[in-house]
Amino acid sequence: MQSKRTQEERSSATRSALLAAARPLFAARGYADVGTPEIVAAAGVTRGALYHQFDGKLALFEAVFEAVEQEVTGRIGTLLAEAGATDPIGALRAGAGAWLDACADPEVQRIVLLEAPAVLGWERWRELGLRYGLGLIEAVLTAAIAAGDLDEQPVRPLAHVLAGALDEAALYVARADDPVAARAEVGAVLERLVDGLLRS
């Protein structure tokens, strides 16, 4: 039993080392310009260890992308939990702002917004992105409807529309020549979008 546990711990440590090594490389130079020999050298493991943990570089990139998505969603989820209990619309505004701020981080921007759609394909990128963010958006919208801030309506389609708007807003900032100005512009647009949802 002890040796099995030790093997599981070794496997987990190898996986963590590969993720930790690949993430800054993908963020700095992009998927295409990073090779597996460089990744395994940075991780201090063999190529065989990489292929034992992942089917290849693409699977490793997807795992890195998911790790970044989980971290960002976790941070935003904490923020929403703190704000959403008393002010769901305030939480929606804060969550949108937090998403844009997170995507201003060069690592998040490169991996999540610029590389992932091309590397994973648009469908897979959307599927994974929605897996992490959609539940947060739905929870805040449900709370806003319960509080009487929004009209009764189906939550799922509205959450999809808002998720799409948030992704496009982040992409707009990521591709802008002046990201600071673009962040201010798109932040104002999202504020008006949220205002338009409010029950009059």
Phi, psi for residue 196 in degrees, rounded to 5: -70, -20
Question: How large a percentage of the chain has pLDDT more than 90?
Answer: 70
Q: CA torsion angle for 73, 78, 80, 86 (degrees, to 10)?
A: 170
Q: What is the mean pLDDT of residues 153-178?
A: 93
Residue 18: how many other CB atoms lie within 10 Å: 24
Q: Are 183 and 104 spatial neighbours (Cβ–Cβ below 8 Å)?
A: yes
Domain count, the chain: 2
Q: Are residues 84 and 155 in the same domain?
A: yes
Do 193 and 107 lie in one domain? The reply is yes
Is residue 138 in a domain? yes
Question: Are residues 146 and 171 located together in one domain of the fold?
Answer: yes
pLDDT of residue 4: 62
149 falls within a domain: yes
Provide the pLDDT for residue 83: 67
CATH number of the domain bearing residue 118 = 1.10.357.10
Q: Identify whether residues 72 and 46 lie together within a single domain.
A: no
With the CA atoms of 120, 69, 103 and 155 taken in that order, what torsion angle do they form, in degrees rounded to the nearest 10? 100
pLDDT at 43 over 50: yes
Summarize pLDDT for 44-82 with one digit per residue, the tens: 999 999 999 999 999 999 999 999 999 999 998 888 777
How many Cβ atoms sit within 10 Å of the Cβ of residue 78? 11
Residues in contact with 125: Cβ distance below 8 Å, sequence separation at least 6, in sequence order: 116, 117
Rounded CA separation 169/165 (Å): 6
Quick one: which of 69, 58, 74, 67 has its CA closest to 16?
67
Do 149 and 69 sit in the same domain of this protein?
Answer: yes
**Does any domain span residue 45?**
yes
Task: Say whether both 41 and 106 belong to one domain.
Answer: no
The yes-or-no verdict on residue 2 having pLDDT over 60 is no
Q: What is the pLDDT of residue 1?
A: 47
* SS3 call for 198: strand
Q: Does one domain contain both 147 and 87?
A: yes
- For residue 3, the model assigns a pLDDT of 56
pLDDT tens digits, one per residue of 102-133: 988 999 999 999 999 999 999 999 899 888 88
Residue 183 confidence (pLDDT) above 80:
yes
Largest CA-CA distance found in the chain, in angstroms, rounded: 64
Does one domain contain both 143 and 192?
yes
Residue 35 lies in a domain: yes
Residue 22 has pLDDT above 80, yes or no: yes
CA distance 58 to 72: 21
Cβ contact 116:65 at 8 Å: yes
For 43, the domain range is 1-54
Q: Residue 143 falls within a domain, yes or no?
A: yes
pLDDT at 200 over 90: no
Confidence tier at 182 by pLDDT (50, 70, 90): very high
DSSP label at residue 150: B
59 lies in some domain: no
Note the pLDDT of residue 77: 84
Amino acid present at 110: R
Average pLDDT, the chain: 91
pLDDT tens digits, residue range 133-152?
888 899 889 989 999 999 99
